[in-house]
Structure 1
Amino acid sequence: MKLKRFLLRYYPPGIILEYEKGGALKTKSIDLLDLSPETDTELLISEIRKSEPLITASRVDQVKILILRLQEKLGQQDNRRFYLFKALQAHILPLTNVAFNKSGSSFITGSYDRTCKIWDTASGEELHTLEGHRNVVYAIAFNNPYGDKIATGSFDKTCRLWSVETGKCFHTFRGHTAEIVCLAFNPQSTLLATGSMDTMAKLWDIQTGEEVSTLTGHSAEIISLSFNTVGDQLVTGSFDHTVSLWDVPSGRRVHTLIGHRGEISSVQFNWDCTLIITGSMDKSCRVSFHILSHIITLPHPCTLHPAIHSITPFHSRNTHTLMSISTSPSSPLQICFNAQGSRVLTASADKTARLWDAQSGVCLQILEGHTDEIFSSAFNYEGDTIITGSKDNTCRIWR
């Protein structure tokens, strides 16, 4: 094995090693989830060297510089207030979803008008309109961190893969027998997973456009799905009140998580994949430790971000409220974390989005201006830009 270069990951903190083995270029990560500005760098480097043979004596100074940069980033105070930067009349019919690329330089919108549009964040210019679906474009995603492809899932039962640069459609994935309502790229951008109202999830090869496998076992609609960071496991949440964990290479179901008393609305891995976080229409969120037992119950259905990585495990018979937020007179339609895990953004039917401190639960700011309910919101990777999508057919960019 020969180390080629280092890549830095700020959120959550880590160092990616790019190395050559057997003529092939591979990567592995050194996760530094417990890193803080006070961490002893010399001691940390010593521990890293014990477990990672690629970090030789000649590389120690480089690693130290990278760790110091991570510590500096972690030490920065986040006192930002957001102001309206731009409001866009994005579609002629209501929006269904919004999503940023990693940097936040561009974003996409899906709509009932059967299109997905790509926008330049700074100028508000429409870059491409992705046309071809025959019904509502409901689920959309960039293949972050690369950001050169977009997937769209539609009520027409198909999913399409597009080029960000040209707007050209690479593939149309056919096989579902009902509406596609969720999708996700694996981190390597080699596979796309789709979830449907037909109770099935499917895996597709991005290069060939061929179906890789069909994941069957749920007895009701699959509403949410997520890959782990390695890409060898997929988790699905269903209206059958259960969550399933799948082995991606074999397409086999490994575990079924039960305990929710309502439909699953959101499901996600944390960054080191020791926890699965689920949100349900039973007005609770649950955290499953080692994919086996429920350890924490939260009092709101929500969409959670993988940046949550430091939750103290509890015995499965106990529950603990991590944070309770009284969001607004109306229920939140979506909740997301910034990449740093320090802020929570709630989008609500009361026409506002609210920014919260993730530790204290204190409301820091109310984003107002939409004239109808806000159903989708997102941070960019740096956490310095927010996008909100509303039933008023507009999306607003906040900086």
Structure 2
Amino acid sequence: MKLKRFFLRYYPPGIILEYEKGGYLRTKSIDLLDLTSETNPDELLAVIRQSEPLITESRADQVKQLILRLQQKQGQQDHHRFCFFKELKAHILPLTNVAFDKSGSRFITGSYDRTCRVWDTATGTELHTLEGHRNVVYAIAFNNPYGDKIATGSFDKTCKLWCAETAKCFHTFRGHMAEIVCLAFDPQSTLVATGSMDATAKLWDVETGEEVATLTGHTAEVLSLCFNTVGNQLVTGSFDHTVVIWDVASGRRVHTLIGHMGEISNVQFNWDCSLIVTGSMDKTCKLWEAVSGKCVATLVGHKEEVLDVCFDLRGQLIATASADGTARVFSAITHQCLVTLEGHNGEISKVGPRTVVMLLLIWLIEYLASKQDVLKVGVHEKCHL
């Protein structure tokens, strides 16, 4: 193996190694999820070198500089002013979903009008209209991080694969017996997973358009699914109150996670694939070990159904959204509720991984400001919250 070059990943922090093996270029990642500004870079470098033979003595100083750059990035105070930007008359009927590509330069919208539309984020210009479904377009996704393909799932029981640049339809995946309500690309963009009201999930080959596997075992609708970051496992959540971990290569059920007393609203792996978080209509979230399927914690506090849940990009925080009109941030390590975010008058249906730390930071600033009037004036003037 011969190391060719490094790539820096800021969120979550890590270093990507590009190396040559057997005449082919390959990549592997060194995840630095616990990196902080207080981390000793020399000690961390020593740990990395012990476990990664590609980091030789001649490359050590280069890796140390990358660690310092990651720490510098973490120390930057990015204070953004959020204000109304643009209103788009996107569809003639209500929207069902919105999704961005990795860069945030484009986004897509699904609608009851049976179309999906592609938009330029900066200008609000409509780039493409994806037409062909015969019923509501409910589930949509870019194949991030690539962003060159779009998948759309519909109440017409089909999923379509599109070219994001030309709006050409590559494939129509047929086989579900009821509405498709969730979908996801695997990290390598070789598979699309779809979940349906027919109580099954299916895996589809992106290149050929063929069905790879049907994942059966749930006894009610499959409303949520997620690949892990390696792409070798898929987790599905169902209205039957259970969560199932599947082996992608074989389509075999690895674990059934039983414990919730209500329908599952969302499921998600953390970044290093060690944990799974689930949200449920039983007003709780649960944290599970991905390897053993063991429940390690139940996160309580919401007074109504938990409608969405997600990890932050490091997998150290968990955000929840609830029908009780509040969001909460929990520690994935101590399982304690760190903050309850109040202010909405109605239910909160979505939370995103990039907002978790920001929500906690804003709450902390507000809390400190309430204790010290001087800080309140200074911070709010600088942060434009």
1:148-297 superposed matches below 5 A: 148-290=148-290, 291-297=293-299
TM-score, L = length of structure 1: 0.83
Match of 1:329 among 336, 345, 348: 345
* SS across alignment from 1:246: strand
Instruction: Give a deviation string over 1:19-43, Cα, whole Å, max 9, x none.
Output: 2222233221101011011211111
Q: Tell me how large the CA RMSD over aligned residues is.
A: 2.1
CA distance in 2, matches of 1:313, 1:40: 22
Query: How many residues end up aligned between the 2 structures?
Result: 349
- Give the helix-richer structure, 1 or 2: 2
Residue range with higher mean Cα deviation, 43-52 or 320-329 = 320-329
Instruction: Give a deviation string over 1:78-107, Cα, whole Å, max 9, x none.
Output: 432311121111001000000111111010
How big is the shift at 1:321?
Answer: 3.4
Counterparts in 2 of 1:230 and 1:4: CA distance versus 1, 3 Å: same
Quote the residue 2:357 is aligned against: 342
- Bigger Rg over Cα: 2
TM-score, L = length of structure 2: 0.86
Residue range with higher mean Cα deviation, 61-70 or 120-129 = 61-70
Quote the residue 1:307 is aligned against: 313
Contact between 1:195 and 1:223, CA under 8 Å: does it hold in 2? Answer: yes
Contact between 1:182 and 1:225, CA under 8 Å: does it hold in 2? Answer: yes
CA distance in 2, matches of 1:15, 1:139: 32
* SS across alignment from 2:260: coil
CA distance in 2, matches of 1:278, 1:68: 35
How big is the shift at 1:282?
Answer: 1.3
CA distance in 1, matches of 2:277, 2:365: 19
Counterparts in 2 of 1:306 and 1:207: CA distance versus 1, 3 Å: farther
- Give the strand-richer structure, 1 or 2: 1
Contact between 1:298 and 1:324, CA under 8 Å: does it hold in 2? Answer: no
Contact between 2:224 and 2:238, CA under 8 Å: does it hold in 1? Answer: yes
Instruction: Give a deviation string over 1:214-258, Cα, whole Å, max 9, x none.
Output: 111110001010010100000101001111111111111111111
Which structure has more RCO (C-alpha within 8 Å, separation ≥ 6)? 1
How big is the shift at 1:303?
Answer: 3.1
CA distance in 2, matches of 1:308, 1:73: 15
* Seq. identity, %: 67
CA distance in 1, matches of 2:224, 2:365: 25
CA distance in 1, matches of 2:80, 2:63: 30
How big is the shift at 1:308?
Answer: 5.0
Residue range with higher mean Cα deviation, 34-43 or 97-106 = 34-43
Counterparts in 2 of 1:37 and 1:320: CA distance versus 1, 3 Å: closer
CA distance in 2, matches of 1:323, 1:359: 7
Structure 1, unaligned runs of 5 or more: 345-355, 364-398
How big is the shift at 1:362?
Answer: 6.1
1:1-399 superposed matches below 5 A: 1-290=1-290, 291-300=293-302, 301=306, 302-310=308-316, 311=331, 313=333, 320-338=336-354, 341-344=356-359, 357=361, 360=364
Instruction: Give a deviation string over 1:129-161, Cα, whole Å, max 9, x none.
Output: 011111100000011111111110000111011
Instruction: Give a deviation string over 1:317-341, Cα, whole Å, max 9, x none.
Output: xx743543335221212222317x4
